[in-house]
Structure 1
């Protein structure tokens, strides 16, 4: 497995365009500031070589990314939201690199980077376990015990800034590994691969428990179930759904066993206060918002809870970008949905469609109570997977030609 990280392997199996993408994927497992720095460097280099411009010429509706980012940057400067201005540039960088990814992705590269992400998730989990042992030692606990802590500094985050961001990355890792299991044609013949994937899922689920992130579990369950439904594995879906129901009944009958149950009311009330501040500001700035990170910019005005965002995927985009801002990026999003729908109609790779849909479902379930998708690593990984329908760009192009 580990030969796939060799430089000679990369040179002989991938173009120099694709090697840029591989470096970007590896960077996701570095601290977020290093990941962001590498993405900026790669994008600027590709811009200098004219590759980014070519991506914008080839990808339909991609110019709306520029309109959206520029509008966001202007609005941020107007309201003196300087963090928002920096985020607007970051959004442009990441989305521009994703366009480059779309024109150079193929089946071999997608298989390679997904394998790498799965392998690297093991190292992230091992790092998280070392971190957890350090937390236990800080409480003078010398033996390994499973303890769920409330304090943010006592919840493992590996290399992903905080526990909630790491939890969302784990959701993606588990879903991606489950996708690989669904791609196995004969488990009896490929039983070693199956055991490897099951072990990776088990390890990631264990460290997910140590992150103490409650929202991740229903999001992950929803993502897996949707993947099975879209890929038409109804019997497996019924079995997993039964396990989910049993788990729910168990926690209803034994509420003290639910992770961090002692602060669940206070947690929800804090969220409700954050949402109230967000709604008040949306009412006063409905058209353009005040740029990314608006909540952090405005919460002192409302004496709100201090935090970076509105902890809701349903509120924060409207709070930050307003109705006009969201409509500006809508044509690009709609174009992507159309291409994904065409791929599903073609029945070329329904498991890939199922993976993309499951990732999206997970962020909308997790996003009810948090906004962990708005981060360098989580956002970048989601955008890469969600844009991977262009693995089959030739089939999509042929389908569009026939329609014309």
Structure 2
């Protein structure tokens, strides 16, 4: 498996353009500021070579990305939200690189990327376990014990800034690995691959427990179930649904076993206070918001809880970008949804469609209580997977041309 990281392998199997994408994938497993710096460097280099300009010309509706980011930066400047200006530039960089990815992605590169993500998730998990041992040692615990801590600094985050971001990355890793299992045509003949993927899932689920992120579990369950439904694995879906129901009943009967149960009321009250502040500011700035990171910019005006965002995927985009801002990017989003739907209609790769839908379902379930998708690594990985329908750009283009 590890030969896939060799320089010779990359040179013989992928084009110069595709190797830019591979570098970006590896950068996700560096600290977020290094990942961001590498993405900026790669995008500027591609811009200098004229590659970014070309992809904007090739992909329909992509110009709305530029309109959206410029509007976001202008609004941020008007309200002196300088973090918002930086985030607007960051959004333009990431979305531009995703367009480049769409032009150069193919099935071989996608399978390579997903293989790399699975292998690298093992290293991230091992790093997290070392981190956890350090946490136990800080409490003078010399033997390995499974303990769920409340304090943020006592929850493992591996290389992903904090525990909640790492938890969302684990959700993605598990779904990608599960996608690989669904791609196995005959488990009896490929049992070694199955055991490898199952072991990776088990390891990631274990470190997910150590992140102490409660929201990740229902999000992951929802994503896996949706993947199985879309891919028409109804029997397996029924079994996993049964396990989920059993777990819910167990925790209802044994509430003390629920992770971090002692602070769950305070947790929800804090979230409710954050949402109240967000709603108040949405009411006063409904059209344009105040730019990215608006909550951090305005919470003190409402004596709100100090944090970076509104902890809700349903509130924060409206808070930051307003109705007009979201409508500006809507044509590009709609064109992507159409393209994914056309891939589903063509019945070329229903498992890939299932993976994209499962990722989206997870961020909307997790987003009920948090906004972990608005971050360099989580957001970038989601956008790459969600844009992977262009693996089949030739049949999609042909299908769409016939419809016109």
Number of the residue aligned with 1:332: 332
Counterparts of 1:368-379 in structure 2 under 5 Å? Answer: 368-379=368-379
Shift of 1:111: 0.3
TM value normalised by structure 1: 1.00
In structure 1, stretches of 5+ residues that fail to align are none
Note if 1:192 corresponds to 2:187: no
Number of the residue aligned with 1:67: 67
Counterparts of 1:147-226 in structure 2 under 5 Å? Answer: 147-226=147-226
Number of the residue aligned with 1:38: 38
Counterparts of 1:12-51 in structure 2 under 5 Å? Answer: 12-51=12-51
Shift of 1:238: 0.4
1:51-80 deviation digits (Å, cap 9, x = unpaired): 000000001100000000000000000000
1:118-144 deviation digits (Å, cap 9, x = unpaired): 000000000000000000000000000
Hey, what's the Cα distance between the residues in 2 that align with 1:369 and 1:56?
35
SS at match of 1:344: helix
Hey, what's the Cα distance between the residues in 2 that align with 1:204 and 1:60?
38
Number of the residue aligned with 2:279: 279
Q: Which moved more, 1:13-22 or 1:393-402?
A: 393-402
Hey, what's the Cα distance between the residues in 2 that align with 1:312 and 1:399?
37
SS at match of 1:159: coil
Note if 1:98 corresponds to 2:103: no
Counterparts of 1:69-84 in structure 2 under 5 Å? Answer: 69-84=69-84
Shift of 1:148: 0.1
Number of the residue aligned with 1:307: 307
SS at match of 1:203: helix
Consecutive aligned runs of 4 or more in structure 1 exceeding 2 Å deviation = none
Hey, what's the Cα distance between the residues in 2 that align with 1:257 and 1:247?
11
Hey, what's the Cα distance between the residues in 1 that align with 2:398 and 2:115?
29
Shift of 1:402: 2.0
Shift of 1:339: 0.1
Number of the residue aligned with 1:139: 139
Number of the residue aligned with 1:395: 395
Shift of 1:397: 1.0
Number of the residue aligned with 1:6: 6
SS at match of 1:304: coil
Superposition RMSD in Å: 0.3
Shift of 1:395: 0.9
Hey, what's the Cα distance between the residues in 2 that align with 1:332 and 1:316?
20
Number of the residue aligned with 1:383: 383
1:190-220 deviation digits (Å, cap 9, x = unpaired): 0000000000000000000000000000000
Hey, what's the Cα distance between the residues in 2 that align with 1:385 and 1:300?
37
SS at match of 1:184: coil
Shift of 1:172: 0.1
In structure 2, stretches of 5+ residues that fail to align are none
SS at match of 2:221: helix
Counterparts of 1:255-294 in structure 2 under 5 Å? Answer: 255-294=255-294
Hey, what's the Cα distance between the residues in 2 that align with 1:190 and 1:2?
19
Counterparts of 1:343-358 in structure 2 under 5 Å? Answer: 343-358=343-358
Shift of 1:22: 0.1
Q: How many residues align?
A: 404
Shift of 1:401: 2.3
